[in-house]
């Protein structure tokens, strides 16, 4: 934990409250200028145009942290342009982010970590094998995007919470970070270009349904068969597939439209007609779209990718249910781009 509140973890009201709480008067427009200078534009120091009073600058230097995390490593995959960043945080914890090129040239999204490690224990995930080290604070999440964006040869127009960690396990910090990233004085990213992914933490899904935010939700299901899913996602299996489907149904009624389900394809494991039948039972009447993702497991004894025939058969089964299917590219295969891979090389 940082000893002082961090600038990257604040909205304008937070900065005003902290300074006024210490007897330093600051106007709302001054707080907005300071945060926009630091977060939106990624600048050190204070605004040179329309500067804020020196007493405010001095108070920020005394009361507010502005350190950026150290970039330990950058790994660029020359085949697809994905760039993986490994950060060392103030207490030595490691976190990762990925710069993802989008179809429109010069546009990028950033895949963000919400925890150092992860408690869900997914068998096909490198982060799951690290175990949970700790939750990240909101500022540590925002700092990842700022660092990656500042080196991008173009505009970062999206963010996805699909890196290390289970975002809904760190609900408050992730929600705060998403608010900062979508704020005009923060990341200035459109709310509908921010995506939060979960392996199915039912309480978090229901919280989002109760007070729907502008960002999108992806539910990473990977199997609709109870016993199989519990074996693949041990801790995430604390909730049954029926409970997860019920939460998704509630969320869909609250927000409308289709809910996106992510499905990591594991060759020989989770693409048969039994999965299609289970999905038809669980989500009858719920409009879904599917993202099919090829597993990225570098271990010699790890999960293999599905063959073209396995993938197409599963896709045909889903489409027969009226479910739109998109195959999502699993990038950075040549450069340890699956989350947790760079961190695992540092942790032995």
| Residues tagged active-site | 96, 339
| Measured distance CA(188)–CA(186) in Å, rounded | 5
- Greatest C-alpha distance within the chain: 68
Beta pairing partners, 115: 135
* Alpha carbon distances (Å) from 15 to 12, 18, 22, 37, 75: 5, 5, 11, 14, 35
**Token pair 């502008």: residue:** 214
Phi, then psi, of 185 in degrees rounded to 5: -100, 5
| Measured distance CA(284)–CA(286) in Å, rounded | 6
Q: Are 298 and 342 in contact (CB under 8 A)?
A: no
| Measured distance CA(131)–CA(165) in Å, rounded | 9
| Measured distance CA(337)–CA(3) in Å, rounded | 32
Helices (H), 211-307: 226-232, 241-255, 273-282
* Alpha carbon distances (Å) from 36 to 43, 155, 288: 9, 16, 37
**Which stretches of the chain are assigned E, i.e. beta strand?**
70-76, 83-88, 94-101, 107-111, 115-117, 132-135, 155-161, 194-198, 216-220, 259-265, 288-294, 325-328
**Token pair 């005394």: residue:** 62
């Amino acid at each position: 934990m940082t000893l002082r509140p961090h600038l990257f973890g604040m909205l304008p009201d937070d900065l005003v409250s902290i300074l006024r709480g210490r007897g330093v008067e600051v106007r709302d427009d001054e707080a907005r200028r300071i945060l926009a200078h630091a977060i939106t534009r990624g600048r050190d120091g204070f605004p040179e145009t329309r500067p804020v009073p020196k007493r405010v600058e001095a108070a920020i230097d005394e009361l507010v942290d502005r350190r950026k995390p150290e970039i330990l490593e950058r790994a660029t995959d020359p085949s697809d342009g994905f760039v993986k960043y490994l950060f060392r945080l103030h207490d030595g914890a490691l976190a990762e982010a990925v710069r993802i090129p989008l179809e429109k040239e010069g546009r990028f999204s950033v895949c963000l970590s919400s925890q150092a490690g992860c408690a869900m224990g997914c068998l096909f995930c490198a982060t799951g094998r690290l175990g949970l080290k700790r939750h990240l604070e909101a500022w540590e999440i925002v700092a990842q995007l700022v660092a990656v964006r500042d080196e991008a040869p173009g505009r970062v127009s999206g963010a996805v919470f699909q890196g290390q960690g289970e975002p809904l396990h760190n609900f408050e910090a992730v929600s705060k970070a998403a608010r900062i990233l979508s704020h005009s004085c923060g990341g200035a990213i459109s709310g509908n270009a921010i995506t939060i992914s979960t392996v199915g933490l039912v309480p978090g899904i229901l919280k989002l349904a109760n007070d729907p935010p502008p960002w999108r939700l992806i539910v990473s299901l990977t199997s609709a068969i109870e016993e199989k899913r519990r074996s693949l996602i041990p801790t995430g299996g604390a909730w049954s597939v029926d409970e997860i489907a019920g939460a998704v149904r509630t969320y869909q009624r609250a927000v409308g439209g289709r809910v996106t389900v992510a499905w990591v394809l594991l060759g020989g494991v989770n693409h048969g007609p039994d999965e299609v039948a289970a999905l038809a039972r669980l989500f009858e009447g719920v409009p879904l779209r599917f993202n099919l993702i090829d597993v990225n497991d570098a271990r010699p004894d790890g999960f293999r990718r599905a063959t073209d025939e396995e993938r197409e058969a599963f896709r045909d089964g889903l489409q027969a249910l009226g479910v739109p299917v998109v195959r999502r590219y699993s990038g950075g295969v040549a450069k340890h781009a699956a989350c947790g891979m760079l961190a695992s090389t540092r942790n032995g």
